[in-house]
Amino acid sequence: MDEQNSSAAKLEWVDPIKEADQALDAGRYGLIWGVSGGFEAPLGTRCHAPNPPDLDRSPIVAASLPIGVDGALSDPSGARLRYAEAYNRRVLSSGGHPYADVCVSGPQQSLFDAPLNTDRPATDRQPRRIGLATAARVGDRKAVSRMLPSADVDELDAFGMTALGWAVARGHVGIARDLLAAGADPLAGRTEISLQRTPLYLALAYGREPLFEAMSARRGGAPQNGWSAQLVEAAIVGGDPQLAHRLLARSEPLNERQLQTMVRKALEMGRLEGAAVVYESRRLSPAALLTAAVYAGEPTMIRRALADGVDPNAGDPPHLYRIASNGGVRAAEAAKELIAAGADVNAGEETPVEGLLRAGGVRSPAGENAPDEAGARLLYTLLEAGADVRKVDSRGRPVIIRALGVYAPDATPRAPPPGWLRMLVDAGADPHAPWRGRTALDYVVAAQGAEGPLAREVAALSRRRQPAQKGR
For residue range 122-147, list pLDDT tens digits in order.
555 556 667 899 999 999 999 999 99
Find the range with the poorest average confidence among 82-86, 100-104, 343-347. Answer: 100-104
| Nearest Cα residue to 39 out of 58, 60, 66 | 66
| Average pLDDT over the chain, rounded to an integer | 86
Average pLDDT over residues 68-95: 82
Average pLDDT over residues 406-410: 84
CATH topology of domain 129-221: 1.25.40
Q: Do 45 and 90 meet the contact criterion of CB atoms below 8 Å apart?
A: no
CA pair distance 217, 200, nearest whole angstrom = 11
Supply the pLDDT for residue 126. 57
Supply the pLDDT for residue 193. 86
Is the per-residue pLDDT at 73 higher than 80? Answer: no
Number of H helices and E strands in the chain, helices first, is 23, 5
Is the per-residue pLDDT at 218 higher than 90? Answer: no
Supply the pLDDT for residue 2. 44
Supply the pLDDT for residue 471. 47
Helices (H), ranges, 239-342: 241-249, 256-268, 272-280, 286-296, 299-307, 319-326, 331-340
Average pLDDT over residues 404-408: 86
Is the per-residue pLDDT at 439 higher than 50? Answer: yes
For residue range 364-378, list pLDDT tens digits in order.
444 444 446 888 899
The model's confidence at residue 113, banded by pLDDT at 50, 70 and 90, is very low
The model's confidence at residue 120, banded by pLDDT at 50, 70 and 90, is low
Count of CA atoms in the C-beta half-sphere (13 A) of 53: 27
- What ranges do the domains of the chain cover? 16-105, 129-221, 228-284, 389-464
For residue range 225-282, list pLDDT tens digits in order.
899 999 999 999 988 899 999 999 999 999 999 999 999 999 988 899 999 999 999 9
Q: Do 33 and 42 meet the contact criterion of CB atoms below 8 Å apart?
A: yes
Q: Do 78 and 43 meet the contact criterion of CB atoms below 8 Å apart?
A: no
User: Is residue 311 classed exposed, middle or buried when 0-12, 13-18 and 19+ CB atoms within 10 A define those classes?
Assistant: middle
Supply the pLDDT for residue 364. 44
| Nearest Cα residue to 129 out of 117, 146, 116, 150 | 146
Is the per-residue pLDDT at 95 higher than 80? Answer: no
Residues paired with 227 in a beta bridge:
251
